[in-house]
Amino acid sequence: MCKTLNKYFLFFLFSLSLLSCKNNQQEENNKTKTSYDVQQLRYHVINIYPHNENAFTEGLEWSNGFLYEGTGDTEYTGNSKLAKVDVKTGKDLQKINLAKEYFGEGITILNNKIYQLTYKEQKCFVYDANTFKLIKEFSYEGEGWGMTNDGQHIIMGNGSNNLYYRNPETFAIVKTLSVSNQYGPLGSINELEFVNGFIYANVWTTFKIVKIDTNTGKVVAEANLEDILVKYAPDDLNRKIDVMNGIAYDSTSNHFFITGKYWSKLFELE
C-alpha cells in the first residue's frame, strides 16, 4: 500500500513539475512577445518664455512663427478659448472664447483651418486660421482629448489607448491605431504632435512624453521631464498648477515647445 501511494505521489510531483515548466515557458514566450526596449530621450532647454498662468492648456500648435493654444475650463465659466499667442510675451494676439457649455480640448491646424475638440460635448469646431471665424462643426462619439494631423488626416484621442484617424472634410473615422508600450496597452494619451512620421504624446497625470510609431502603434521612445519645474520654474511648485500638457513642434528649428496647465513658463526644448 505504501509503495502504491509513493508511486502515485512521485507521479503527481513529476506532473506538477512538467506543468510548472510549461507555465514558466509560456510566461517567457508572452514576455518575449510584449517586452522590448524603449529608448530614453534626454532634453535640453533652449529658451524659457512666459506662459499665461490662467491657461488650462489642452492643445498647443506652432505655425508660421506663432503659437496657437486651446484651453479648457474646469468650472465652465467661459474661459475655454482658442488663441494665437506671441511666444516671447505669452500674450494673446487673437482669441475666441467658447460658449460656457463647452470645455475646450486639443487643437490642430490643417489646410488653413484650425480644428478644436471639446471634452464631453462631442463637438469639434473648425475655424478659419486667419480670422478665427467659425466655418463648421462636427459631431463625434465619446470624449475629445488630444489632436494632431499627418497632413492628410485628423488624428485624435479620447483618453483610451486608441488614436483615431479622421477625414478632415467629414470627420469620419478611416483608421484606428492602438498604442502600447513594453508593458501592454497605454491609455491616458493626451496632447498630441505629429513629427516626421511619429506621434509625440503627453501621458496624462505624468511628466512623460512618449514617441509613438504610427505604423505599429508601439512606443519606441520616451522622455521624462519630472525635473523641469524643479530646475527651471520652482515658483510654480508653490502655486496651484495642474499636469504637464502641451506639445508644439517648430520644423524650422527642429525644437519642441512644452508647457502645462496653469504653468507660468513655456519651454523651448531640443
Do 5 and 94 sit in the same domain of this protein? no
Same structural domain, 90 and 8: no
Are 30 and 76 found together in one domain? no
Say whether both 64 and 164 belong to one domain.
yes
DSSP-derived pairing of the beta strands 39-41 and 219-224: parallel
Spatial neighbors of 179 by CB under 8 A, at least 6 apart, are 161, 162, 163, 185, 186, 189, 201, 212, 217, 218, 219
Residues 8 and 78 in one domain: no
Residues 50 and 143 in one domain: yes
In terms of residue numbers, what domain contains 147? Answer: 41-269
Same structural domain, 261 and 145:
yes
Taking residue 35's Cβ as centre, other Cβ atoms within 10 Å add up to 13
- Whole-model pTM: value is 0.87
Do 168 and 209 fall into the same domain?
A: yes
Q: Which of 270, 268, 264 is nearest to 50 (CA)?
A: 264
Q: Say yes or no: 19 and 66 in one domain.
A: no
What is the chain's pLDDT, residue by residue, as a tens digit (270 residues)? 443 444 444 444 444 444 454 455 554 444 444 578 999 999 999 999 999 999 999 999 999 999 999 999 989 998 999 999 999 999 999 999 999 999 999 999 999 999 999 999 999 999 999 999 999 999 999 999 999 999 999 999 999 999 999 999 999 999 999 999 999 999 999 999 999 999 999 999 999 999 999 999 999 999 999 999 999 999 999 999 999 999 999 999 999 999 999 999 999 999
Please indicate, yes or no, whether residues 119 and 215 belong to a single structural domain of this protein.
yes
Task: Give yes or no: residues 101 and 227 share one domain.
Answer: yes
Q: How many domains does the chain have?
A: 2
Predicted confidence (pLDDT) per residue in 138-188, tens digit: 999 999 999 999 999 999 999 999 999 999 999 999 999 999 999 999 999
Residues in Cβ contact with 47 at an 8 Å cutoff, skipping those fewer than 6 apart:
267, 268
Query: Which amino acid makes up residue 132?
Result: F
Instruction: Give Dmax over CA atoms of the chain in angstroms.
Output: 94
DSSP per-residue string spanning 135-201: EEEEE-SS----EEE-SSSEEEE-SSSEEEEE-TTT--EEEEEE-EETTEE---EEEEEEETTEEEE
Residues 215 and 265 grouped into a single domain = yes
Grid cell locating 95: 482669441
Tell me, what CATH number does 133's domain have?
Answer: 2.130.10.10
